[in-house]
Structure 1
Amino acid sequence: MSWCIYLTHPEVKIDPEVPVPDWGLSETGRERAARAAALPFAGDIRQVISSSEQKAIETAQVFCGRKGVFHRALRFLHENDRSATGFLPPLEFEATADAFFAKPHDSVRGWERAVDAQDRIVTGVKSALRHIPEDDPVLFVGHGAVGTLLMCHLMAVPISRAHDQKRGGSWYRFDKDWLMTQTGRNLAWTEL
């Protein structure tokens, strides 16, 4: 049995004219992403797998550039699909995200349902791990909402924003076999 880290991308350059999946890291985001390479787990990571969204790719590249490990991007690890609304101003986004977590079986404003996003991220992480040697620690680089949905699955608790990160650029560690056993482990986000 080995372990994984799930890391969310830190701060991004918000541009309402650019599709959200194409946003890159801000300078602050790049500085915070670099901190991941100095964390105690960093030297043990053998592979980095990210979402194919630009902000996740850039976060992974910052880590890989400092640690010299293999990186690949997988489409199915993307954030919950919010293309129905596109960019939303911060207060409107937070209210919609609250509803996304509170009503996981409903499509809120056309967003991907939370239960579907959870199934996709859990299945995606399981699928990715099938192609990695058992003892290789893996860094997954992704997004806050689906990272929280994965965490809820790992803890065997209902979907809830109560388990959401406080800030982008946060991480948690889990054992690979927890994806299969769902025995209710306690997990918590740690900021970079």
Structure 2
Amino acid sequence: MIGYYLTHPQVVIDPAVPTPQWPLSSEGRHRTEAILGKAWLKTLRRIVSSGERKAIDTASIIAAAAGLDVEIDARMGENDRSSTGFLEPAAFEAAADCFFAEPETSWNGWERAVDAQARIVEAVDGVLAAHPPDTPILFTGHGAVGSLLKTHLAGRAISRREDQPGGGGNIFAFALSGRALLCDWTPMESFEGPGDDR
């Protein structure tokens, strides 16, 4: 069966609020609500979310429609960028370039990419260790750690090329048995199941 990793869509950006506490924006909520009729969502039997509000918001919308609970795993949080706080978009993109380009180096105190990757892989493996391999599951989280997880599943090197397109609201799928990547990042609205990116 299949595991899915979905990144939260658009959020309310507020420099005065720590990023883990940012909620989904109305656009982000609308995008999530718009996919609730998808056939792949109706197969889900479990939803596990990062502990950050935007990921929980995303998971909660889907869980309510599916009649499921949301489980929280704090290890699924986004890469720790608290050392710098909020960065304007251009500065953030430059920092993200450095984060992916030098995965064994901390950029201005950020969590290293290799450490963030080890953490997200440990989180997903930990959840799946006691999860039936014939039961579809959704993980809701974030772009950077999601990209690091995808890179690991694909057996590829950490690179910004693996990052999600468009800034949020993307999904990939992987086999629960063997942990093989089944498809690359796909916008949530156009995702119909593994292989739809071919």
> Would the TM-score normalized by the shorter structure come out above 0.5?
yes
Unaligned 5+ residue runs, structure 2? 189-198
Contact 1:152 1:158 in 2 (8 A): yes
Aligned pair partner of 1:189 in 163, 185, 189: 185
**Corresponding residue for residue 83 of structure 2:** 84
Secondary structure at the counterpart of residue 140 of structure 2 = strand
Question: What does 1:91-130 correspond to in 2, within 5 Å?
Answer: 91-130=90-129
Shift of 1:119: 0.5
Contact 1:76 1:124 in 2 (8 A): yes
Say what the alpha-carbon RMSD is for the aligned residues: 1.2
CA–CA distance in 2 between the matches of 1:100 and 1:186? 26
**Corresponding residue for residue 45 of structure 1:** 44
Q: Normalization by structure 1: what TM-score? A: 0.94
**Corresponding residue for residue 145 of structure 1:** 144
**Corresponding residue for residue 73 of structure 2:** 74
Contact 1:151 1:187 in 2 (8 A): no
CA–CA distance in 2 between the matches of 1:154 and 1:40? 24
Cα displacement string for residues 39-82 of structure 1 (whole angstroms, at most 9, x for unaligned residues)? 23101000000000000000000101111112111100000000
CA–CA distance in 2 between the matches of 1:177 and 1:115? 24
More helix by share: 1
Secondary structure at the counterpart of residue 36 of structure 2 = helix
CA–CA distance in 1 between the matches of 2:35 and 2:139? 12
CA–CA distance in 2 between the matches of 1:110 and 1:187? 33
CA separation of 1:122 and 1:36: change in aligned 2, threshold 3 A: farther
Contact 1:101 1:161 in 2 (8 A): yes
Counterpart code for 1:177: S
**Corresponding residue for residue 176 of structure 2:** 176
Secondary structure at the counterpart of residue 174 of structure 1 = strand
Contact 1:82 1:111 in 2 (8 A): yes
Q: Which shows bigger deviation, 21-30 or 133-142?
A: 133-142
Unaligned 5+ residue runs, structure 1? none
Cα displacement string for residues 121-156 of structure 1 (whole angstroms, at most 9, x for unaligned residues)? 011000011232221100000000000000000110
Contact 2:174 2:182 in 1 (8 A): no
- Give the count of matched residue pairs: 187
**Corresponding residue for residue 155 of structure 1:** 154
Counterpart code for 1:173: A
